């Protein structure tokens, strides 16, 4: 082999070494990841985006517990960095969340994600755990209190819009067990089912069962949402266990007049007889004046409390006077729920609204899952754009990672 050939081979070997070294070394601190989102068929306004994201795939220097992510608006090429956008990374889910801003139907937007090591600022959404309740706040103002101890079944009260609470608290002249927003089981014991509804020790409805708090698996705070995950057991009046439940509740705002609570209710198969009814229930603030006053409308265009009663619908919205303004609450039934669309008002007095579902006779696996959305808003149905928000709920924004970019 000639000296020239040896020199050429040596250069090639050195180049290969450097290429391999560069491939293996950690990405530069100014490395970004470009993400694309698509609105789909719905106009988006500060809609929530969720993306499975594993930081170590893109940022080898990532350190759990100390590293953080920052996000900014960019173009498709990643060369037009815009303003920063609040984002939130949940490490247990490996989920990145942020909000869209204005994104018309059929359009897309791009974001650049980068790795930072500064401590996060004070969270916009906070959950303060007290001995018997959680205080869920946004912008230092209470959105909801979740009461979980010393009760027959946990409930949200107050549940505040920008004019005050849209649901009633404990007590009242009628049906004192209709408290706030809550999940229930069994109705009045139809067909022999346990009754985790009436909250009585005595006949004819008692002794009733209970939903008993066990622990909070996770409490998450951040700049985009707050969330808790809770384990419960459902028991009959004699203490016999019917099922276990994992409940997830997530709170976020599109703006101060449009507030969202998303609930996922996942149980083991109910070891019970009868109808085995599962309910999501809201007892309305009496100031709304429903049924005589206020506005009630469902997804099928039926208007009035009598018209929507005992009807299947994708959503139902109820509103009226609250504090110094007009507020409403819409209950969303997710298409993945068994028997969707659910029965609205099947077990309810006129001042209340419920969604009713039954589990199938045989489950596909060992879990029964229900998903409900709660939209607390200013105004009544037309002005609150309830149908569009329902479509946003069931058709989440699509997001994907495009590529890395050296800035």
Asked whether residue 160 falls in the same domain as residue 51, the answer is no
Residue 256 pLDDT: 98
Q: How far apart are the first and last CA of the chain?
A: 44
Residue 294 lies in a domain: yes
Same-domain status, 112 and 224? no
Let me know whether 111 and 200 are in one domain: no
Residues 102, 144, single domain; the answer is no
Last residue of a domain, one of 55, 86, 121: 121
Residue 6 lies in a domain: no
Q: Does residue 373 share a domain with residue 224?
A: yes
Q: How many CA atoms lie within 13 A of 298 on its CB side?
A: 24
**Residues 171 and 91 reside in one and the same domain:** no
Number of domains in the chain: 2
> d(Cα 99, Cα 50) in Å, to the nearest integer?
9
The answer to whether residue 12 sits within a structural domain is: no
- Tell me how crowded residue 161 is: count the other CB atoms within 10 A of its CB: 27
Q: Is residue 404 part of a domain?
A: no
CATH number at residue 110: 2.60.40.1180
Q: Are residues 50 and 95 in contact, defined by beta-carbon separation less than 8 angstroms?
A: yes
Is the domain of 157 the same as that of 230?
yes
Domain residues for the domain of 346 are: 125-394
Render each residue's pLDDT in the chain as its tens digit; 407 residues: 555 555 455 454 545 544 344 333 344 456 899 999 999 999 999 999 999 999 999 999 999 989 999 999 999 888 777 889 999 999 999 999 999 999 999 999 999 999 998 877 789 999 999 999 999 999 999 999 999 999 999 999 999 999 999 999 877 667 777 899 999 999 887 788 899 998 888 887 889 999 999 999 999 999 999 999 999 999 999 999 999 999 999 999 999 999 999 999 999 999 999 999 999 999 999 999 999 999 999 999 999 999 999 999 999 999 999 999 999 999 999 999 999 999 999 877 889 999 999 999 888 889 999 999 999 999 999 999 999 999 999 999 999 999 776 54
> Are both 80 and 188 inside the same structural domain?
no
Is there a contact between 223 and 87 (Cβ–Cβ < 8 Å)? yes
Tell whether 54 is covered by a domain: yes
Query: Which tokens hold the place of 185?
Result: 């089981």
Whether residue 78 sits in one domain with residue 213: no
In a domain, 166, yes or no: yes
Last residue of one domain, picked from the residues 76, 105, 121: 121
Q: How far apart are CA 319 and CA 270, in angstroms?
A: 34
Tell whether 108 is covered by a domain: yes
Examine the fold and report which residue of 102, 121, 140 is the final residue of a domain before the chain moves on.
Answer: 121
**Are 348 and 375 within one domain?**
yes
Instruction: Kindly report whether the peptide bond that precedes residue 398 is cis, defined as omega within 30 degrees of 0.
Output: no
Instruction: Tell me, yes or no, whether 61 and 160 share the same domain.
Output: no
Residues 6+ apart with CB under 8 A from 309: 344, 345, 348, 350
Tell me: do 97 and 133 sit in the same domain. Answer: no
| CATH code for the domain in which residue 276 is found | 2.70.98
């Amino acid at each position: 082999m000639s000296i020239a050939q040896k020199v050429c081979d040596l250069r090639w070997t050195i180049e290969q070494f450097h290429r391999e070294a560069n491939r293996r070394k950690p990405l530069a601190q100014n490395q970004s990841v470009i993400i694309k989102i698509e609105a789909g068929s719905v106009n988006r306004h500060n809609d929530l985006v969720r993306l499975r994201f594993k930081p170590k795939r893109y940022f080898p220097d990532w350190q759990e517990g100390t590293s953080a992510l920052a996000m900014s608006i960019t173009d498709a090429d990643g060369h037009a960095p815009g303003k920063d956008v609040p984002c939130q990374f949940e490490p247990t889910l490996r989920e990145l969340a942020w909000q869209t801003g204005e994104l018309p139907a059929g359009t897309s937007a791009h974001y650049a994600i980068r790795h930072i090591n500064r401590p996060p600022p004070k969270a916009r959404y906070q959950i303060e755990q007290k001995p018997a309740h959680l205080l869920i706040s946004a912008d230092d103002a209470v959105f909801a209190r979740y009461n979980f101890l010393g009760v027959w079944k946990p409930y949200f009260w107050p549940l505040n819009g920008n004019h005050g609470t849209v649901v009633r608290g404990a007590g009242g002249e009628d049906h004192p067990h209709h408290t706030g927003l809550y999940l229930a089981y069994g109705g009045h014991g139809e067909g022999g089912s346990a009754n985790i509804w009436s909250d009585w020790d005595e006949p004819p409805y008692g002794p009733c069962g209970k939903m008993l708090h066990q622990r909070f698996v996770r409490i998450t705070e951040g700049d985009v949402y707050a969330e808790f995950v809770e384990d419960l057991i459902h028991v009959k009046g004699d203490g016999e266990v019917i099922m276990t439940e994992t409940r997830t509740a997530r709170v976020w705002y599109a703006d101060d007049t449009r507030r969202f609570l998303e609930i996922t209710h996942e149980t083991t198969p109910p070891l019970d007889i009868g109808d085995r009814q599962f309910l999501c229930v809201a007892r309305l603030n009496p100031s709304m004046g429903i049924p005589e006053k206020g506005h009630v409308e469902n997804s099928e265009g039926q208007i009035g409390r009598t018209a929507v009663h005992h009807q299947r619908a994708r959503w139902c919205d109820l509103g009226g006077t609250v504090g110094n303004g007009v507020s409403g609450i819409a209950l969303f039934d997710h298409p993945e729920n068994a028997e969707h669309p659910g029965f609205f008002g099947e077990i309810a007095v006129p001042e209340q609204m419920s969604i009713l579902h039954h589990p199938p006779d045989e489950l596909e696996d060992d879990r029964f899952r229900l998903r409900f959305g709660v939209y607390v808003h200013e105004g009544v149905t037309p002005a609150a754009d309830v149908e569009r928000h329902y479509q946003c709920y069931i058709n989440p924004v699509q997001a994907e990672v495009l590529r890395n970019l050296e800035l």
